[in-house]
Structures are given as C-alpha cells and as structure tokens.
Amino acid sequence: MQRGQKKKINQNEIVSSAGRQHPRVFLNLPIEYYVNNHIPRSGHTYNLSPGGVMLNIPERLKIGQPFKLAIFFAMGAKVEAVKVNSQVVWVDETHTNGGYRSGVKFIDLSAADQNKLQKFFEKF
C-alpha cells in the first residue's frame, strides 16, 4: 500500500488499535435509546465492542450524558436485546448520514447481557 492510501476495511472486520481496551467489530445493528426515561428513539451502531459502541443517532447528546440503550441482534432464529445503562464519551459535531456519531461506554452491563454479548462476539 502506498503512502497516503487508506486500507479498505471489510464490514465485519475486527479492529484493534493502540489505546483501546476492547477490539471493535464494524456492525450496523438497530438500537433504541432512552434519554431521561422518555419515549424510545431509534438509531444504529457503527461498531461494537464488549465495553462500548459507536452510534449514529438523530440527536446530539452531551459528553458525559447518561442514558439507557438497547442493542438488537440475531442469535440463531431469535432476536436478542442487550439493555445497558450507558454514558456518552465523545460526539462528532457534524451531522452526517442522518445523525450524529457518538462514542458510548457501557456503565453497568448485567451478567446475563454480558453473556449475550460474549456469545454474539464468538461469531467473529
């Protein structure tokens, strides 16, 4: 690869980079999120790791803002949902692809949901 060229990344490639606690998997999964326990809002993931997720959501949340998050994915013939209290770590200030990119960390992932995620990641 020549200098200045970018490597094309496979949609399901696992990405690990220096400074990250967990590797990321590029996935477009549906989500619902709840700010202040109000009506659920929809969005999707860009990537997912055992410790957090990058989201595309229609509104710009504040860094440090806590919220509830549900991530939906298929496990065999069933649709599973991981529900977790989360916190915004960073926000891309530009509105692209129908929403704002937001980096989110999981705050308290239950043992049952942690197990679901672990089984899901075994596919990769």
pLDDT of 21: 57
Range 113-121 average pLDDT: 90
Q: Is residue 123 part of a domain?
A: no
- Per-residue pLDDT at 69 exceeds 80: yes
**Does 104 map to a domain?**
yes
Bridge partners (DSSP) of residue 25 are: 14, 48
Q: CATH number for the domain including 34?
A: 2.40.10.220
Q: To the nearest 5 percent, what fractions of the chain are helix, strand and coil?
A: 10, 50, 45
From residue 7, how far is each of 1, 2, 3, 55, 122 by CA, in Å?
8, 10, 11, 22, 25
Which residues span the domain enclosing 68?
22-116
Distance CA 110, CA 88 (A): 19
pLDDT in tens, 27-59: 999 999 999 878 899 999 999 998 999 999 999
Q: Answer yes or no: is 5 within a domain.
A: no
Q: Is 122 within the bounds of a domain?
A: no
Q: Is residue 65 part of a domain?
A: yes
pTM: 0.79
- Our count of domains for the chain comes to 1
Structure tokens at 57: 């959501």
